[in-house]
Amino acid sequence: QKEVEQNSGPLSVPEGAIASLNCTYSDRGSQSFFWYRQYSGKSPELIMFIYSNGDKEDGRFTAQLNKASQYVSLLIRDSQPSDSATYLCAVLNNNAGNMLTFGGGTRLMVKP
Partner 1 sequence: EPEVTQTPSHQVTQMGQEVILRCVPISNHLYFYWYRQILGQKVEFLVSFYNNEISEKSEIFDDQFSVERPDGSNFTLKIRSTKLEDSAMYFCASSAPETQYFGPGTRLLVL
Considering only 43, 52, 69, 82, the residue that binds partner 1 (CB under 8 A) is 43
**3-state SS class at 82:** helix
- Verify binding: residue 49, partner 1, rule CB under 8 A: yes
- Verify binding: residue 12, partner 1, rule CB under 8 A: no
Catalogue the E-assigned strands of the chain: 4-5, 11-14, 19-25, 33-38, 45-50, 54-58, 61-66, 71-76, 85-93, 99-102, 106-111
Q: Which stretch binds partner 1 (CB under 8 A): 11-19, 36-44, 56-64, 68-76?
A: 36-44
CB 4 within 8 A of CB 103: yes
- Verify binding: residue 52, partner 1, rule CB under 8 A: no
- Verify binding: residue 64, partner 1, rule CB under 8 A: no
Whichever of 43 and 82 has its CB closer to partner 1, that residue is 43
Considering only 72, 88, 108, 110, the residue that binds partner 1 (CB under 8 A) is 88
CB 10 within 8 A of CB 109: yes
CB 4 within 8 A of CB 90: yes
Give residues in contact with partner 1 (CB under 8 A): 32, 34, 36, 42-46, 49, 88, 90, 92, 94, 96-105
